[in-house]
Structure 1
Amino acid sequence: MKRSFPFQDLVVAALLLPLAACAQTAPTVPVPAAPAAVAPATAAPVPSALSQPLTQQQFASCVQNLAQQTALSGRPLRREDFERIAAGGRYDDRVRQSMLVTTTEPTFWWDELAATTDEDRVQQGRAILARERDALQRIETQFGVPKEIVLAIYGIETNFGPASGRIPVLDASLSLVCLRPCPPTATAPGSCMARERAFAAVRLLRDRRVQPESFVGSWAAAFGRTQFVPDTYELVAVDGDGDGVADIINSERDAWASTANHLKQRGGWRMGEPVYLEVSIPQEQRAEFAARDNSIRLTDRAKRLSEWTAMGWRVLAPNAVTPQPGSDPELYPFLPVGLPGPAFLVSRNFDTVLRYNRSERYVMEVSLLANKIAGGTDFVTAWPTDDPGLTRAQVRDLQNWLVQRGHAQVVADGVIGRVTRDAIAAERAAKGLPAGRRVGQRTMRELMQP
């Protein structure tokens, strides 16, 4: 799941990351920025288990303990096969460091969506759609999943291919389960997802379904062009280019078909239903949707679109994907940050993308990017902030400026990670600006002015 996962919300995601339909992360914490009345979210405390790297002895002991649990594998795995292949695994502290970043660097909705659905990415997606329209249309017809959704996942996960990660998946999966051991109660086969992820990585290598040199991915053990974790790959990867092999690392068409199959098999995609419709809520009903600490997602309030319309809810601007003529989809309310802020009615396709990656922000990133690729526009309602997020091009401009200011470790990659945030904090302090590790449209101008 993504992009080497710089935008994942919270640490729990590390165990079940992207593309694991059964994954479960902590709820997204959407927070309006100043001058709104709600203050930014407080970073979660650093879990004590992540405060120090594992020693080699601790890691070796963990792997040996896993070898004794191969009978609990969800699919057949002999202990000797595990020991032989896992012997080549190494503890990678980048996994722990990435888990810490997701814990200690809360972000805003408007930052993430501004970066992940910027015009550069939209144009890249449209170029691929033009180049591969026939193949993508065939996949859409076969699996009943819109080609724009498939492309959007491709774009969000790996920026259409090049950002699939650099950490050996075997190392990542073993490091994850050793940093977050299974509970003692997980005694049924396949009952611990982190353990099963490591076992699946071993099985893929055992069966030569992947080549060791190219079996690399994110710190969350996700790999390939659309970032499948090993256990998900085993379940839903399919051949999309007709060569008889499901290769999501080297074949775009295999990755697209596998992604569509995931959404079909694990979510039951409903063709012709938009993921979201942006709406206005009648004044007399707005009080219950005021901003709160978490997003508002009322799955138990599903009604037909005609019923919402009868209650005075109005679609502000139709998506590029609108309900099919004569259809009346069932929708429920979703407000990322409450009111004031964008409000949506979302379909069960929202839940389907959520099964691909358990992050509400991820769902909106994918669905908004898909809408833009298909010819739609951004949200009508502004986010409740006077400091909107930056595009990746703007982030690169900021990073280049930070390099010129002497922060040599900053890389102009368009991603605001820990090193960039450290440099932002230092520059804010140097210029006498309020302490902080974030910049948006307004604060970037303030920071960079002579």
Structure 2
Amino acid sequence: MAIRLPSCIAGAALAALASTGAGAQSLLEQPLGSDQFAACVQGLADKTATAGRPLAREDFLRIASAGKYDDRVRQSMLIAAGEPTFWWDELAATTDEDRVREGRAILAREGPTLQKIESQFGVPREIVLGIYGIETNFGPSQGKIPVLDAALSYACLRPCAASATGTGSCIARERAYAAVRVLRDRRVRTDNWLGSWAAAFGRTQFVPDSFEQLAVDFDGDGVADIINSEADAWATTANHLKQRGGWNMNAPVYVEVSIPKEQQAEFAASGKSIRLADRAKPLSQWMAQGWRALAPDGQPKPLELAGDPEMYPFLPVGLPGPAFLVSRNFDTVLRYNRSERYVMEVALLANKIAGGGDFVTPWPTDDPGLTRAQVRELQAWLAQRGHAQVTADGVMGRNTRDAIEQEFVAKGLPPQRRVGQRTMRLLMQP
């Protein structure tokens, strides 16, 4: 299960942090001191009896004593809270032509292995590749923080509620315990065990506790290695989707739809997504109420799928904007990463890899998002303008946003930290 910036599970993690109270939030205001971190690790040791799987206190202390506080965890949590993004920005970057092309190349190269995984676990190979592409850009972006350090730092920055005394009752604490158990059981090599700020690692980004429970040795070498083995990572991902929700091969994650005019008022934009999971019913019933699928040319067509699966409405930004009926497969991907936006990134990328197209309905904006190639073009321009901290890596990070804001001010324009297709041209014009 992955954790990445700037959206996806980061938002869920910060929401959970907020739920623990103002004292927990204050921990993000400045780095933890060495004494604070040491006291936290000691406190974690004192609660090993609550671990979801057996862990001796002495084993925890022996292994955790090698861990170090890493302030990149705190900084990443702050960035996630402070840099809101739009749907049309993220999907434009995460499902761009470059990523689709690379996904199709992997599908052509590794088709037999992916087909075996699909047959064994009952999960489409394109969905597995969609997760692979979104998580680590098909492998190279697995993270740079030692996983043990990240897990301990995360647990210390997100303390558990006092009521979390039951077995496995605290997610952040359990993640630290699982990281220690993974090392105790020698399931990874310590010299290359690197991951994200929230301790997700490997080609498809699993946190240690999910890795413990779901890792698969698919290539048959005796080790479930999601860091170096694509086959193991793909099978582990498919196993996650199978075990935590299941998959209906007769149902897509989404069907883009048109909503009858007399029903549209209910779905008007409200500043947040509209997801009505309690309204699931067979597709034929939506058809009977006048809902229709949208063909690639934008024309309505009948809502028909084999097995007449149950689906429910999901509108990322309300109307006007794309509208969908989504299946329980949506919920299954959501268990992989607790972000609606992540689910649609994966599903759209998977659809494009399989030969499909983008959403038919445009986003309600006059300034659509940039592809990664366009972000790199912008970053190269910013670097030429003297912003030495900006690297042309295609990632709209804090340094890039800082430079964008400075350039808007320099042009006498209202400051902003985001650009799209229109505002990029405005910013870069002589």
* TM-score, reference length from structure 2: 0.95
Q: Does 1:438 align with 2:418?
A: yes
Shift of 1:290: 0.2
CA contact (8 A) 2:269 2:319 kept: yes
SS, match of residue 30 in structure 2: coil
SS, match of residue 345 in structure 1: strand
**For residues 2 and 408 of structure 1, do their structure 2 counterparts lie closer, same or farther at Cα, with a shift above 3 Å needed?**
farther
**Superposition map of 1:377-392 within 5 A:** 377-392=357-372
**Superposition map of 1:71-86 within 5 A:** 71-86=49-64
Structure 2 equivalent of residue 338 of structure 1: 318
SS, match of residue 300 in structure 1: helix
Shift of 1:272: 1.9
Match of 2:169 among 191, 206, 213: 191
Supply the distance in 2 between the matched residues of 1:283 and 1:369 (Cα, whole angstroms): 30
Match of 1:290 among 246, 261, 268: 268
Deviations 1:119-152 (A, max 9, x none): 0000000000000000000000000000000000
Structure 1 equivalent of residue 180 of structure 2: 202
Structure 2 equivalent of residue 119 of structure 1: 97
Q: Does 1:425 align with 2:401?
A: no
Q: Does 1:415 align with 2:369?
A: no
Shift of 1:2: 4.9
**Residue identity matched to 1:417:** G
Structure 1 equivalent of residue 21 of structure 2: none
For this pair of structures, how many residues does the alignment match?
A: 421
Structure 2 equivalent of residue 373 of structure 1: 353
SS, match of residue 311 in structure 2: strand
Supply the distance in 1 between the matched residues of 2:296 and 2:427 (Cα, whole angstroms): 38
Moved more, 207-216 or 252-261: 207-216
CA contact (8 A) 2:126 2:353 kept: yes
Supply the distance in 2 between the matched residues of 1:323 and 1:282 (Cα, whole angstroms): 13
Shift of 1:3: 7.8
**Superposition map of 1:88-107 within 5 A:** 88-107=66-85
**For residues 103 and 292 of structure 1, do their structure 2 counterparts lie closer, same or farther at Cα, with a shift above 3 Å needed?**
same
SS, match of residue 244 in structure 2: helix
Deviations 1:151-186 (A, max 9, x none): 000000000000000000000000011011111111
Supply the distance in 1 between the matched residues of 2:284 and 2:306 (Cα, whole angstroms): 11
CA contact (8 A) 1:111 1:440 kept: yes
Quick check: which one's helix share is greater?
2
Supply the distance in 2 between the matched residues of 1:102 and 1:180 (Cα, whole angstroms): 14
SS, match of residue 121 in structure 1: helix
**For residues 146 and 318 of structure 1, do their structure 2 counterparts lie closer, same or farther at Cα, with a shift above 3 Å needed?**
farther
Structure scoring higher RCO (CA < 8 A, sep ≥ 6) equals 1
CA contact (8 A) 1:224 1:255 kept: yes
Shift of 1:318: 7.0
Structure 2 equivalent of residue 259 of structure 1: 237
Give the percent of matched residue pairs that are identical in Structure 1 and Structure 2: 74
Structure 1 equivalent of residue 41 of structure 2: 63
Structure 2 equivalent of residue 315 of structure 1: 293
* TM-score, reference length from structure 1: 0.91
Shift of 1:13: 2.1
Unaligned runs of 5+ in 2: 19-23
**Residue identity matched to 1:172:** A
Supply the distance in 1 between the matched residues of 2:259 and 2:294 (Cα, whole angstroms): 10
Match of 1:168 among 136, 146, 153: 146
Deviations 1:313-368 (A, max 9, x none): 1100279xx99864211110000000000000000000000000000000000000
